[in-house]
Amino acid sequence: MLELKDIQYRPSTSEEPVLQGVDLLAHASQPVVIAGASGSGKTSLLEVISGLASAQQGAIYWEHKPLNQRQRRWMCGVVFQFPERHFLGLTVAQELRLGHRRLTSVEQTQALQKVGLAQIDMKQAPENLSGGQQRRLALAVQLLRKPTILLLDEPTAGLDWSVRDEVLELLSKLAREQLLIVATHEPELFVGLSSAAYRLDSGRLHKLPQ
């Protein structure tokens, strides 16, 4: 169980906090969807949860035990809206092996199969993949880390309907294996996936009726 209590966060580039008094409760195998307009603070919330940003106030707990920033970085996998901006490998194979020097070919194949990229050309450059393939590759990279919590920022944004359906089906499968938190401006797409839904508005998180 993941719990956020009274989180307040103000990035160095802002005079006002983008998150104010945020409380959230999330359980494993019960996906959470956080809805909000662009600029509402959804990405900032994922960054705080994952330890990529540090809140000025509040605490985050896992199974009732407080987590520091370093612990959250180890526990969380994050896929951002534009994964191509975060790719460092020159090829798909290199991207998968970054940070995984002992990665076996079997583990590599299993990760790609899990996200539906079993037939991908390993020598292809990540930036040359389609938008849907880039999201899947970014997911495979994070899954290799075996995260306890998987955070997804706008996983369906900019994808055509057929690819969206494939991504939603994939997320439904992943939600059975780890805690899944999705930030989106299209919450209607995730009605069949989420067990709990919230809306982030003016820095405050409000739980929505199911």
- Give the pTM: 0.92
Residue 110, C-beta contacts closer than 8 angstroms, at least 6 positions apart: none
CATH number of residue 58's parent domain: 3.40.50.300
Indicate whether 157 pLDDT > 80: yes
The fraction of the chain above a pLDDT of 90, given in percent, is 70
Average pLDDT of the residues in 174-184: 93
Average pLDDT of the residues in 133-146: 93
The predicted pLDDT at position 162 comes to 85
Range of the domain at 175: 2-208
Q: 102 — phi, psi (to 5°)?
A: -100, 15
The predicted pLDDT at position 192 comes to 86
Average pLDDT of the residues in 144-171: 91
Q: Give the separation between CA 26 and CA 148, rounded to whole angstroms.
A: 12
| Pairing status of strand 2-9 against strand 19-26 | antiparallel
Average pLDDT of the residues in 11-35: 93
Indicate whether 210 pLDDT > 80: no
Q: What is the DSSP string of 142-186?
A: HHTT--SEEEEESTTTT--HHHHHHHHHHHHHHTTTSEEEEEES-
Q: 180 — phi, psi (to 5°)?
A: -115, 125
Q: Count CB-CB contacts under 10 A for residue 128.
A: 12
Indicate whether 6 pLDDT > 90: yes
Average pLDDT of the residues in 88-98: 93
The predicted pLDDT at position 18 comes to 96
Handedness of CA 165, 113, 103, 132 (dihedral sign): negative
Q: Give the separation between CA 12 and CA 9, rounded to whole angstroms.
A: 10
Total domain count, the chain: 1
Q: Give the separation between CA 98 and CA 92, rounded to whole angstroms.
A: 10
Name which residue leads in pLDDT, 105 or 32.
Answer: 32
Q: Would you say 198 and 208 are in contact if contact means Cβ atoms under 8 Å apart?
A: yes
